[in-house]
Amino acid sequence: MANTLVSIQIIPKTKNGEDVIPYVDEAIQVIEESGVNYQVNALETTLEGDLSHLLSVVEKMNKKMIKVGSPSVISQVKIAYHPEGITMDQLTEKYR
């Protein structure tokens, strides 16, 4: 069972002020390839899994931004760590 939720907003700097959405799409592809459960929202994406694995996914996302041409990146990250287990559904079920 997952013990961590990580919400991330990745903000790549672009060389010539171009749209960041193609960069964000690349970051989401990194999440997809990781195999973790995730949900894309309007301003951030939430990942569900083991803390160390999710942090490695965040690292890969940042490195991917550089690889696709961003000179630097800011990642705003929120972490909910519950050793007994936690899921996105547990936190949001009362709103559905």
Q: Give the count of beta carbons closer than 10 Å to the beta carbon of residue 47.
A: 23
Q: Using one digit for the tens of pLDDT, what is the confidence trace for 10-53?
A: 999 998 889 999 999 999 999 999 999 999 999 999 999 999 99
Query: What is each CA distance from 77 to 38, 68, 72, in whole angstroms?
Result: 14, 21, 16
- Model pTM score: 0.92
